[in-house]
Amino acid sequence: MNDQIRRNPIRLIDEQEQMVGVIDTAEALDRARELGLDLVEVAPDADPPVCRILDYGKFRYEQSKKERANKKNSKTAELKSIRLGRSLKIGQNDIEIRIRQTQKFLLLGHKVQIVQRFRGREVTLTDKGMERLADIADRLAPLSKVEAPPRRNGRELAMVLAPDKVKIEKWKAENTELAKAAEEAPEIEEDLNDVEEDEGTDSE
């Protein structure tokens, strides 16, 4: 920057962001000083190097703002988990709540593992669990793709949905208000394992 620029000549971009062309470094520095601005190398590896006349303090502030914004917008995707209660005996309203929560996670760019647990003799009703997960996958298909199909692991059946960026952008464009409401919805605060406990369960 300024007197630290050793190469000569340079390719200059003026304070209006207009290309001036290749000029002597000293001449470019004089121009910057007359305007009370700085001469900053923006492409030092070019031949000749590219320099701009600008307010360096303001330039760094704007760069810092962009970096913070990019960092905020590039949150690390997480694998979220949604449990459909402790057994097949979960009410439809509770399922709807979990579908909305999954929708929110997908819109925020997270993968979601959806888990159906079986209690007692329910372990013989795997087909019902498969049907439930397939139905949920179908309902969330406008936002996602099935990354891992339903798979049995002991007394649990789980699948993983991954956000589909193309589908999500299309859905957002067609459902602006719904998208905003879904993204702003609070996360479920209840223990996702503790659902329908009082409906009674089969003995082990």
Residue 93's domain is classified under what CATH number?
A: 3.30.110.10
Q: What is the mean pLDDT of each run of 10 residues along the chain (204 residues)?
A: 92 93 95 95 92 92 81 71 87 92 92 92 87 94 94 91 92 82 64 40 41
Q: Which tokens hold the place of 185?
A: 């919805």
Three-state DSSP class for residue 22: strand
What's the structural domain count of the chain?
2
Q: Is residue 168 part of a domain?
A: yes
Q: Is residue 10 part of a domain?
A: yes
Helical ranges in 116-158 per DSSP H:
126-139
Residues 94 and 31 in one domain: no
Q: Is residue 202 part of a domain?
A: no
Confidence at residue 111, expressed as pLDDT on a 0 to 100 scale: 94
Residues 28 and 86 in one domain: no
Domain coverage including residue 142: 79-195
Looking at 52, 73, 94, the residue that finishes a domain is 73
Residues 94 and 183 in one domain: yes
CB atoms within 10 A of CB 55: 15
Residues 92 and 12 in one domain: no
Q: Which tokens hold the place of 67?
A: 């970096």
Confidence at residue 181, expressed as pLDDT on a 0 to 100 scale: 74
User: What's the pTM?
Assistant: 0.54
Confidence at residue 204, expressed as pLDDT on a 0 to 100 scale: 42
**CA 29, CA 26: separation in Å to the nearest integer?**
5
- Of 188, 11, 197, which Cα lies nearest the Cα of 98? 188
CA dihedral 163, 118, 125, 189 (to 10 degrees): -40
Q: Is residue 121 part of a domain?
A: yes
Residues 87 and 16 in one domain: no
Looking at 13, 47, 73, the residue that finishes a domain is 73
Residues 68 and 86 in one domain: no
